[in-house]
Structure 1
Amino acid sequence: MNEGLVVVVRSVIGFFSLLIFARIIGKSQISQLTFFDYVLGITIGSMAATLSTDLSSRAWPHWVALVSWAALGYIMEKITVKWRYASKFLEGEPVIVIMNGKIMENVMKKMKYTVSEIMGLLRNKGIFDVNQVDFAILEPNGQLSVLQKPEHLPVTPKDMKIKVSSSGISTELIYDGIFIEQNLRQLNKDKKWLLKELKKQGIYDVSEVFFATLNPAGSLYVDRYEDRLQTMVDIGDYKGPY
């Protein structure tokens, strides 16, 4: 019982320490992390776990180590923000791996990337032919930025000299069968109006609606709990041994 209480207390200390450090260091998205940032996060998390469960030693040394690693991470972040050359050395810099459809083999060897890995990153961008690529840049966080050749770029309304209005951001009106009254008021709408619109789509009770939004153009999107689809599409190609 006493050991359990100690683990709870240590876990609370480790949890709030991690929360504070995460806020201070300020890394918000995994996709923005460099490899070192990723490893640093794992190491700090491992220390917090040890702080919580290692009852064979005092909590104080583990917490000091946790604070030290977090402080060093914060200092390194400030250094990379203030000094460009330090950022280049510590976090790396973007490198061109494809130029005018040609793969830079020497650069890839230096970055320890294979052609298969680069092709996989291109496919994630919807590109299956290297000839379509003008420039491909490998970012410090491992993401691939791609500029396609002009003849392979998608045509935009601007290219066609077509004027289009801004679609804006849709506003949630119903979620999980409940009206979002604050959003209705912001749009100068009310429940009566929304129920009338729902009836036009054959919906007579808000509890039938899982999600509903209204865009600035006045288009109402409604998703029911029981979507009345005639045929369900299954993209799997293996039904299992039955």
Structure 2
Amino acid sequence: MTFFDFVTGITIGTIGGAFVTTQIEGFYILLSPVILAILVVLTGYLTLKSTPARKLIEGEPLVIIQNGKIYEKNMKKLRYNLDDLMMQLREQGVFDLSEVEFAILETDGKLSVLKKSQYQPVKPRDLNINTRYVGLSSEIIRDGQIVEQNLKQNNLTHEWLYNELAKQNIKNIRNIVLATLSTDGNLYIDVKNDNHSYIQEIEDDDSMI
């Protein structure tokens, strides 16, 4: 959320809250948030078409760290202090400034960090290891209903689906909460009222208090 979005949301919320909590006759007061919302939409369209307007309204990202050195000038522009910088670096898993090549503060207040090459995790291509494609799974059944569109997109038939369900001793589709098909052809199925032999508890034991 940019500063402009934040201010707009607070303004609309304040107007709505004032209408609910104060005795005001007539609903004309609600015209102001409607008009404001329309102006926000128009402003969004303007920023989409005009780069100068986008920079003026939404701002632009600024470099905070370059080549491992903090750029104090940009920090002063944004009134961005070292405590904020260190906190957001830790959120990115960086606890040592010497590991950072670039850090850019985005318009929504988030910090994008690029580590130096020697501190980046090893990737399969660095070791010349071939990898297979992993895409998004397709929902085949959701809440007991077949998702026909996804079935057709994967060139599958109802006969295939029923055969796969029969292999897992599932006779009624309505008992299925979710069934997804991975890109490698594996069908994951979750049914209602699973009989779990053990459920991991993460709550604190009251007896220890």
Shorter chain as denominator, the TM-score bin is 0.7 to 0.9
Q: 1:117 is matched with which residue?
A: 84
- 2:11 aligns with 43
Aligned position for 2:40: 73
Quote the offset at 1:164 in angstroms: 3.5
Q: What is the rounded CA distance, in whole Å, between the counterparts of 1:48 and 1:64 in structure 2?
A: 10
- Structure 2 residue 146 is the aligned partner of structure 1 residue 179: yes
Which one-letter code corresponds to 1:220 in the other structure? L
Q: Which residue of 1 aligns with 2:160?
A: 193
What SS does the aligned partner of 1:183 have?
A: helix
Please name the residue that 1:215 is paired with: 182
- When the two structures are superposed, what TM-score results if normalisation uses the length of structure 1? 0.67
CA apart distance, 1:116: 3.5
**Structure 1 letter corresponding to 2:134:** S
Aligned to 2:25, the other structure's residue is in SS state coil
CA distance in 2, matches of 1:74, 1:184: 37
> Could you tell me how far 1:54 is from its partner in structure 2?
5.0
User: What is the deviation of 1:138?
Assistant: 0.4
Output one character per residue of 1:163-208: Cα deviation in whole Å (capped at 9) or x when no partner. 4343233211122333334433443434443343345446555455
Higher mean displacement: 129-138 or 202-211: 202-211
Superposed displacement of residue 100, structure 1: 3.0
Aligned residues: 207
Contact 1:80 1:90 survives alignment (8 Å) = yes
State the alpha-carbon separation in 1 of the partners of residues 23 and 2 from structure 2.
33
1:1-242 map, 5 Å: 33-51=1-19, 55-60=23-28, 62-201=29-168, 203=170, 205-225=172-192, 226=194, 228=196, 230=198, 232=200, 234=202, 238-240=204-206, 242=209
Give the whole-Å Cα distance in 1 for the aligned partners of 2:189 and 2:3.
42
Indicate conservation of the 8 Å contact 1:179/1:191, yes or no. no
Partners in 1 of 2:112 and 2:118 — Cα distance? 18
The structure-2 alpha-carbon separation of the partners of 1:210 and 1:71, relative to structure 1 and needing over 3 Å to count, comes to closer
Q: TM-score, normalised by structure 2?
A: 0.75
* Distance change (3 Å), C-alpha of 1:83 and 1:165: same
In 2, distance between residues paired with 1:205 and 1:129? 56
- Between 1:222-231 and 1:147-156, the stretch displaced more is 222-231
Identity %: 39
